[in-house]
């Protein structure tokens, strides 16, 4: 079973139809693949929409995620412990927490941010 955690940017690209996701789009539709969306991504999206930095509907995104049968990944205290242990290579706390979740569970973490690849072999950059 292939298990993937999408970075928030990848989630948005996926449903925006961005060409950036093309290399991975087919992976997500394979029968032995599970795709996870973190509760952290929902929080990040809500913050950016409310601040006017992102123009999308969180309700539409959630509906699309359900339509594709993606799974929601909750945040646990084990993830927070892993977050605390991560070195400070990258400054974005959302990316740190998503990466901590990927390492904790473990899941392949797919992102557009090449800096995150320095943390773990679980990171795939597109």
Please provide the size of the chain in residues. 126
pLDDT tens across 9-38, in order? 999 998 888 888 887 888 877 888 999 999
- 95: exposed, middle or buried (C-beta count within 10 Å: 0-12, 13-18, 19+)? buried
- Alpha carbon 50 to chain centroid, angstroms: 20
**CATH code for the domain defined by 2-125:** 3.40.50.1010
**Between 118 and 72, the higher pLDDT residue:** 72
pLDDT tens across 42-84, in order? 999 999 999 999 999 999 999 999 998 999 999 999 999 999 9
| This model's pTM is above 0.75 | yes
Contact status, residue 32 vs residue 2, Cβ threshold 8 Å: yes
């Amino acid at each position: 079973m292939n298990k993937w955690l999408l970075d928030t940017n990848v989630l948005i690209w996926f449903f925006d139809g961005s060409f950036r996701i093309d290399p991975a789009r087919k992976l997500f539709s394979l029968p032995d693949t599970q795709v996870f969306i973190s509760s952290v991504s929902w929080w990040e999206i809500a913050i950016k929409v409310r601040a006017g930095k992102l123009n999308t509907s969180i309700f539409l995104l959630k509906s699309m995620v359900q339509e594709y049968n993606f799974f929601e990944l909750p945040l646990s205290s084990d993830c927070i412990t892993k977050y605390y242990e991560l070195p400070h290579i990258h400054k974005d706390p959302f990316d740190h927490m998503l990466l901590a979740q990927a390492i904790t569970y473990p899941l392949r973490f797919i992102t557009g941010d090449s800096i995150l690849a320095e943390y773990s072999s679980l990171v795939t950059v597109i």
